[in-house]
A and B are shown apart, each in its own frame.
Chain A
């Protein structure tokens, strides 16, 4: 049990660092750093989503940018309608835009969850490299659809000018918005932690390790994987919603395959299937981008080197390096 305790403690330390850093930056009057931490937090959430499918379920989705983008567009479209006072549709009933984050998040989660249900239902009939390719293909379809749909900016994207509202929070202040995103991330991590040890999480991890055995026990691996894929898509979609409010802008690049790859990189850097793996990975990613990006535009060279190092010498990622091998009961 010693390893587990270490990982648990490590997670608490990591959570405190992610909270403390921006607080210090705020009081040192460095709002840019707060925004940077917010970016890392939101990207981490996108990674947490993928980690449920990839880490716990072994489902290597190379199309999670689709859910990130769909969550983003859900927010962008509704917010732009709210700003122009034009209803989204008037028949058979009127749907107005909104600037309430709680409403927008709900829509983003539902839209990305529905998309994950459809994409997952089809993709999960395949496995291995075919699954990777078919998820990529679906994401690319949505990417090109977003580019070619002029109503919401097409290739140029869509600006929402003003950050949406959350009851009791001044979302325009960088620290407030950071704390909101941080709260969402922590809540999702808490839920994932509970889920991992509950019946669904156990069944999902069993499917990853020995699908045939699970089927022989009379549980349907397909249904378990599909549910995991939908949950995974929903979380990444929620991250997309936050990302649009961070940038006040949504564009097809949120759905590009580069982004799918980056989300996967967070997980590999931090530690596959580890609760805080994507959090560490996303923070390292943003850190690399900021530090090395300040003196060379080829900063991804250093990211690549780090990734290579992890894959060759530390298969468990950062968390595995510090806390050792994961334990299950």
Chain B
């Protein structure tokens, strides 16, 4: 069996009496897209936050590359190569699209204390940024300020920033949200290839996207994994239909 890159065991997080994550076991193997689905409020985003380090788990373990990372903060985990895209675009509003991706490239080089050389003339950073923007099809919008980008363009910019980080794994929280039919299908094609660069833990509401992309699907309901398997197995799983898909298809 292939060693998983990311492995969660018995991960638990509660806010007071509310258990948002309840003994979750989950792993992510090289080259795969592992989709996490579940109804609203199931705790999907909380789980991503626990993995990324924005929230601290109460108990359980998170192993990355065979190493326990539960004690590390968000910054340290990002440096190890866990790169996250946000459910609601989280960008630097006054920077241009290119400026945002250059910041990500700069972060990958862990370079902060430069005081003289102008970033705008930094061929290394601009080159990496333009490359990432081209891959998501935003190259012609590079100079546009983020606050003037459309919603869909902001979603793609999130992906471009993640690409510039050259991560070991992607944690993607609803990348398709609000992209529209055409945008979604293009992004599906893109993510399909991206898994070869780094595995993706994908939260997505768009079921077509999930069933097309996912090598494995885990279903989260009320903080617990109730089912796991390939697309066909999940589609026909009775508990899943009852808890989740049933509501959608009705």
Contacts and interface: CB of A to CB of B under 8 A. Distances in A.
A and B: partners? Answer: yes
Contacts of A206: 92, 95, 103
B234 interface: no
Interface stretch (B114-122, B204-212, B218-226): B114-122
Contact of B107 (A197, A198, A200, A217): A217
B92 A209 contact: yes
B238 to A, nearest CB: 38
Contacts of B116: 194-195, 198
A203 B103 contact: yes
A219 interface: yes
Contact of B112 (A199, A209, A213, A215): A199
Interface of B: 52, 54, 74-79, 84, 86, 90-96, 98-99, 102-104, 106-108, 110-120, 122, 143, 145, 161, 165
A106 B110 CA distance: 30
A223 B74 CA distance: 14
Contacts of A29: none
B111 A199 contact: yes
Given A198-B114, A227-B113, A210 B99 contact: no
A218 B96 CA distance: 20
B56 to A, nearest CB: 14
A212 interface: yes
Given A206-B92, A216-B74, A218-B107, A329 B98 contact: yes
B119 A216 contact: no
A interface majority secondary structure: helix
Given A215-B75, A217-B103, A219-B75, A202 B119 contact: yes
A213 B92 contact: yes
A223 B107 CA distance: 14
Nearest to A210: B92
A202 B102 CA distance: 10
A95 B7 CA distance: 60
A212 B52 CA distance: 12
A101 to B, nearest CB: 24
Given A200-B112, A210-B92, 15 more contacts: A191-B115, A199-B119, A202-B102, A202-B106, A203-B103, A203-B106, A203-B112, A213-B86, A214-B103, A215-B74, A216-B74, A218-B107, A218-B108, A328-B99, A329-B98
Interface of A: 191, 194-195, 197-203, 205-206, 209-210, 212-220, 223-224, 227, 326, 328-329
Contacts of B106: 199, 202-203, 219
Contacts of B113: 199-200, 227
Contacts of B75: 215, 218-220
16 contacts: A199-B111, A199-B114, A201-B115, A202-B119, A209-B95, A210-B90, A215-B74, A216-B84, A217-B104, A217-B161, A218-B79, A218-B165, A220-B75, A224-B112, A328-B145, A329-B143
B96 A223 contact: no
A213 B91 contact: yes
Contacts of B115: 191, 194-195, 198-201
4 tightest A-B CB contacts, nearest first: A218-B78, A199-B114, A217-B107, A218-B79
A205 B112 contact: no
A216 B86 CA distance: 10
A36 B107 CA distance: 45
A194 B79 CA distance: 27
Contact of A197 (B78, B95, B98, B120): B120
A12 B111 CA distance: 31
Contacts of B119: 197-199, 202, 329
A216 B90 contact: yes
Nearest to B99: A329
A215 B79 CA distance: 10
Given A200-B113, A202-B99, A203-B112, A216 B92 contact: no
Nearest to B167: A218
A59 B54 CA distance: 23
Contacts of B96: 328-329
A217 B78 contact: yes
A112 to B, nearest CB: 19
B94 A205 contact: yes
Contacts of B118: 194, 197-198
A209 B94 CA distance: 8
A200 B114 contact: yes
Contacts of B74: 215-216
Contacts of A227: 112-113
Contacts of A328: 94-96, 99, 145
